Amino acid sequence: MQADRLSAVAVLGVPLELGAGRAGTSFGPDAIRRAGLQSRLEALGLEVSDEGDITVASALPSQQAEENPLLNMKHAREIIRVNRILSRRVSALHDGGRLPLILGGDHSLALGTIAGAARSRGRIGVIWIDAHGDVNTADTSPSGNVHGMPLAAALGYGHRALTAIGGRQPLVRPENVVLIGVRSLDPGERSLLRQTGVTVFTMPEIDRHGMAFVMEQAIAMATRGTSGVHLSFDMDSLDPLHAPGVGTPVAGGLTIREAHLAMELLAAARVVGSADLVEVNPLLDDGNRSAELAVDLAASLFGETIL
């Protein structure tokens, strides 16, 4: 599917919280739907189909190291299973001429969305908007939480059980990957980002250069030699004052206007072929405010304008 011919969007929920350090993101897809996502997108003239949710097994905290504690990947078996299913579903939606919009759920699901997009579209770029790098591996992660590992796995780094999802390694090339809004990195993540040469726009760089400049650069890098862009948007990229309902908030994040401008510039460029909105945690939210903001941002991504 070509992003510049967008007319149909398929919404798919992944109520996954096993990759995170606390419960609640499993309720994210439902919260975003209840905030009016489908009607908001349909008002833009889009054909929107809700594909329901992928079934995710629950697990007790005591089961976190069930497979092998040496792997340092909590709940790895179920997360891998879900991502394999998600990869196939995203690929099928692409092949059916619809743009997949995946609702999370924790950020470990992004490995499946990227794998599915790459399977159908070949070489893709990734714009990853997040307070964190998510480029830990089982060897470097301080927590063993898999939601901190999906981008590393997509780049071909980490345990083979993760990097093999999608059937090819790597799923994306570092020169086509851009991180935006980063302000919290573990030591192993810093090392891997330097090693790979992935472009990172930290919050201080956004402060200095402005979001318009950052997005222009990001779009140029992510589209160079690719069929389009996968957008992975973690709601914790926003400052917690605006999006309190996330599991790993970090102060000093994006303003609402900066986030909207990023979406508006992506919409104007017509390069997004798939997207995920992740890490909405209604258990930590204030009156579903974070889910409502996620809907606002999705509307901007799909072309809603002031005039």
Q: Does 242 participate in catalysis according to the annotation?
A: no
CA distances from residue 109 to 95, 206, 215, 233 in whole angstroms, order as listed: 20, 27, 24, 12
Q: Of these residues, 53, 134, 264, 296, which one is catalytic?
A: 134
Q: Does 279 participate in catalysis according to the annotation?
A: yes
Number of Cβ within a 10 Å radius of residue 147: 31
Q: Of these residues, 147, 159, 230, 260, which one is catalytic?
A: 147
Taking alpha carbons only, the member of 112, 108, 122 closest to residue 84 is 112
Q: Of these residues, 17, 75, 94, 132, which one is catalytic?
A: 132
Do strands 199-202 and 99-104 pair parallel, antiparallel, or not at all (unpaired)?
Answer: unpaired
Q: Of these residues, 130, 239, 258, 264, which one is catalytic?
A: 130
Q: Of these residues, 189, 264, 276, 279, which one is catalytic?
A: 279
Q: Which string of b and e fits 23-48 if b means at least 16 CB within 10 Å?
A: ebbbbbbbbbbebebbebbeeeebeb
Q: Does 4 participate in catalysis according to the annotation?
A: no
Q: Of these residues, 234, 264, 276, 292, which one is catalytic?
A: 234
Q: Does 159 participate in catalysis according to the annotation?
A: no
Q: Does 132 participate in catalysis according to the annotation?
A: yes
CB 243 within 8 A of CB 289: yes
Could you identify the residue written with the tokens 């739907």?
A: 33
Q: Of these residues, 78, 106, 236, 292, which one is catalytic?
A: 236
What is the Cβ-side half-sphere exposure of residue 95, based on CA atoms within 13 angstroms?
11
Q: Does 236 participate in catalysis according to the annotation?
A: yes
Q: Of these residues, 107, 159, 230, 260, which one is catalytic?
A: 107
Q: Which residues are catalytic?
A: 107, 130, 132, 134, 147, 234, 236, 279
